[in-house]
Structure 1
Amino acid sequence: MSIRLNPYFVFNGNTREALDFYAKALRGNVVGIMTFGDMPENPSHPLTDEMKNLVMHAQLKVGDTDLMFSDTFPGTAHQAEGDTVQIAIHPSEEAEAWEIFNALADGGQVVMPLQKTDWSPLYGIVKDRFGVTFQVNVPGEE
């Protein structure tokens, strides 16, 4: 059996901004964006022009990983932020770790600065400006 998992980020109306931010910070490529307005109209649930422009689904390719994104549907509850899930990134080079960490920290909060640890030559934790927490970890020698 083979299973693939990928993070799916849900934002409250600012998915396009987040998608652009992560594409730059993580050096990813936007694969596609679908808006709520791209779907066939449903007369029982009409959409305003603002709703039509919100992102229903977007995909960002980062290396071999797919990150997916969506805005919450207007009127749907949105939990602002939380740390029940964190994203771990494992760049192979220290210079790359610094670039990614600094890009994610722009407008965010450094929780633990990048530093040498018992398990890694360079490890740190950063919460980005969208409230998502990332662990950046350069793998140690085996």
Structure 2
Amino acid sequence: MSISLNPYLCLDGNTKEAVHFYEKALGGKLLSIMTFGDMPADPNHPLTDDMKDRVMHAHLKVGDADLMFSDTFPGMPFQPGDTVQIAIHPREEARAREIFAALEDGGQVVMPLQKTDWSPLYGIVKDKFGVTFQVNVPGEQPQ
């Protein structure tokens, strides 16, 4: 079984600042940063101009560890102190479904498992202890 975990920091509009701060403070290397505006337009969910600049996903490599970030999306609640999530990356979709179901037991689904532009299967669940997990089956990586 192949699985990896990493911290995922969710912030409220200051992710770019945080990524660059941690890059310098921790001696990391910014591998990628994508804003909501970089994603294909969705007429069912139009973005305001200020939303387009918010970070959808950023990846900072610190030594052998991965630290990931995102800004909240408008309408999503933001509670300071509830900013760190755990991202789980099982390679197999069946294992992702098992993990998600186990975490969902007594918890709350934030975003159901579904196909996304970056993953064949992705979802967010808050477990019964209040810990939020992102379950993400890695998509095919460009060669």
1:79 offset after TM fit, Å?
Answer: 1.4
Counterparts in 2 of 1:129-140, with a 5 A limit? none
Residue 13 of structure 2 is aligned to residue 13 of structure 1? yes
- In the other structure, the counterpart of 1:71 is 71
Distance 1:62 1:84, change over 3 A: closer
**Backbone CA RMSD of aligned residues:** 1.8
State how many pairs are aligned: 85
Give, in whole Å, the separation in 2 of the partners of 1:57 and 1:84.
Answer: 14
1:3 offset after TM fit, Å?
Answer: 2.3
The structure that has the greater radius of gyration is: 1
1:84 offset after TM fit, Å?
Answer: 8.5
* TM-score after normalising by structure 2: 0.56
Residue 48 of structure 2 is aligned to residue 36 of structure 1? no
* TM-score after normalising by structure 1: 0.56
Partner amino acid, structure 2, of 1:17: E
Partner amino acid, structure 2, of 1:13: G
For residues 14-52 of structure 1, the C-alpha deviation after alignment (integer angstroms, 9 at most, x for no partner) is 000110110011100000001000111111111011000
Q: CA contact under 8 A between 2:10 and 2:84: conserved in structure 1? A: no
Unpaired runs of 5+ residues, structure 2, are: 86-143
For residues 71-124 of structure 1, the C-alpha deviation after alignment (integer angstroms, 9 at most, x for no partner) is 000121011115998xxxxxxxxxxxxxxxxxxxxxxxxxxxxxxxxxxxxxxx
Unpaired runs of 5+ residues, structure 1, are: 86-142
Give, in whole Å, the separation in 1 of the partners of 2:26 and 2:49.
Answer: 31
Give, in whole Å, the separation in 2 of the partners of 1:38 and 1:83.
Answer: 23
Distance 1:84 1:24, change over 3 A: closer
Distance 1:82 1:47, change over 3 A: closer
Q: Which has the higher contact order (CA 8 A, sep 6+)?
A: 2
Residue identity (%): 64
Give, in whole Å, the separation in 1 of the partners of 2:10 and 2:57.
Answer: 9
Distance 1:3 1:21, change over 3 A: same
Q: CA contact under 8 A between 2:59 and 2:69: conserved in structure 1? A: yes
Q: Secondary structure in 2 aligned to 1:7?
A: strand
